Amino acid sequence: MRYVKFLGITLGAVIVAAVVVGLALAGNAWEQTRQEQAALDPFYESPEVLPDQLGAVIRIEPLGIDVDGGSAQRFLYVSERPDGTRAASGGMVFIPTAPAPEGGRPVVAWEHGTLGMGDACVPSRSTDPTADIFTFLPLMLAQGWVVVATDYVGLGTPGPNQYLIAQAEVRDVVNSVRAVRNMPEAQAGSRYVTFGHSQGGHASIWTGHLGPEYAPELDLLGVAAAAPALDLRDIASAVWDTPIGWVIGADFIEAWPSYYPDLPVDSLLTAAGQDNASRLAVECVEESGLEAIVREKLDQQFFAQDPLDVPAWNQALEDQTPPPMPASMPVFIAQGTADQVVLPWPNAIIAQDWCDAGSTLSMLWMGDVQHQDAAHVSGPTAFQWISQRFAGKQAQSTCSLPMPVAPRAP
């Protein structure tokens, strides 16, 4: 008995010591991150009075990394909120070293996925700014394309960030292209294609609908997306009571009432969700994902009910789901069959509905590819598809091919 008691005390001490060491290491990392972000804060400060010109470049500086075939800069530029008020967004631009062709360089606008709303989560402020694009960025630079990557207004800059709100995302994407055209060193032309992952896929696809009217001086040749969050109603209804709710739910709760002020919030959340939503919104997805796993073990949920059971949320999710793309706007969608975040069957529904509506859809199904790997795996294929758009070739449709996933809920 004494041995068992001694063993219990010893194990308890070891666990406590491990926790203390873990907290100390985490504390050191947090302090280092805080110092790094504080050093970047002056660059991301928005002027009291913003230039009226959309796409005006406020400031630009080297990103501090090496990229094959080009240079990398972070920049701050003028975008606008859906109500027309000017706002500053950060971003990155990658400019090829090869000479620009006559007519200017083609532009690829990259849109990142859900990363969390904290400053350290933002690509242009992170320690690994090309983490999402390393499989295809060198290919694009070698072709002489400028690659611009918006952070979105409110991420790394004064908020709010209107996460998964098309009317905000499209403005940030298009104005980042305008900003590149305002950089003499970029020598960017008017032709561009968008490519995004997850949330960024939502932004990319919606740019195909709203971009041409918003920026008629630009020539949008096509839109591409990897694991795009499109069928928001089906996605939300499928994952609200899973750990995914803890990871992305807080972003919805933080962002959507800024665009839909009448959305009920507290009644949609559990008590634990209400207590932690604001904190989780500014955590990066790696941290919130770990917490989600722990809370699942404790039988805790973020949402108290399916958002589709709340009429205002049901309608808002429907409003932010893009309709079929017109045949004149080529679209490429890549979807992993093992994706547990943006599930494959809602995008199979999208593919079926869009094909029935006559969209020029090229669909790439990737076997056993998880959500976080969708852009990495599909990037080289998306690069080939984008190459054909810039070459003026007619886009091909895969609508006649069978899908490996049934277009219905399992």
Is-contact 245 305, C-beta < 8 A?
A: no
pLDDT of residue 28: 56
pLDDT of residue 29: 66
How is residue 194 written in tokens? Answer: 């968008």
How is residue 304 written in tokens? Answer: 């108290």
How is residue 336 written in tokens? Answer: 């992993």
> Regarding beta strands 105-111 and 146-150, do their DSSP bridges make them parallel or antiparallel, or are they unpaired?
parallel
Report which of 202, 132, 207 is spatially closest to residue 175, judged by C-alpha positions: 207
pLDDT of residue 33: 82
Q: Note if the bond before 322 is cis, omega within 30 degrees.
A: no
Measured CA to CA, the distance from residue 59 to residue 64 in angstroms comes to 15
pLDDT of residue 30: 67
Q: For the chain, what is the largest distance between any 2 Cα atoms, rounded to a whole number of angstroms?
A: 85
- Distance of CA 377 to CAs 270, 344, 348, 366, Å? 37, 16, 19, 8
C-alpha torsion angle, residues 63, 68, 70, 73 (rounded to 10): -10
- Distance of CA 69 to CAs 102, 145, 150, 407, Å? 19, 10, 21, 41
Measured CA to CA, the distance from residue 397 to residue 389 in angstroms comes to 13
Is-contact 138 132, C-beta < 8 A?
A: no
State pTM to two decimals: 0.92
Is-contact 317 232, C-beta < 8 A?
A: yes
pLDDT of residue 17: 40
Measured CA to CA, the distance from residue 333 to residue 360 in angstroms comes to 11
Amino acid at 351: A
pLDDT of residue 4: 28
CA 359 distance to own-chain centroid: 24
What string of pLDDT tens digits covers the 410 residues of the chain?
332 222 233 333 433 343 333 434 445 566 888 888 999 999 999 999 999 999 999 999 999 999 999 999 999 999 999 999 999 999 999 999 999 999 999 999 999 999 999 999 999 999 999 999 999 999 999 999 999 999 999 999 998 999 999 999 999 999 999 999 999 999 999 999 999 999 999 999 999 999 999 999 999 999 999 999 999 999 999 999 999 999 999 999 999 999 999 999 999 999 999 999 999 999 999 999 999 999 999 999 999 999 999 999 999 999 999 999 999 999 999 999 999 999 999 999 999 999 999 999 999 999 999 999 999 999 999 999 999 999 999 999 999 999 999 999 98
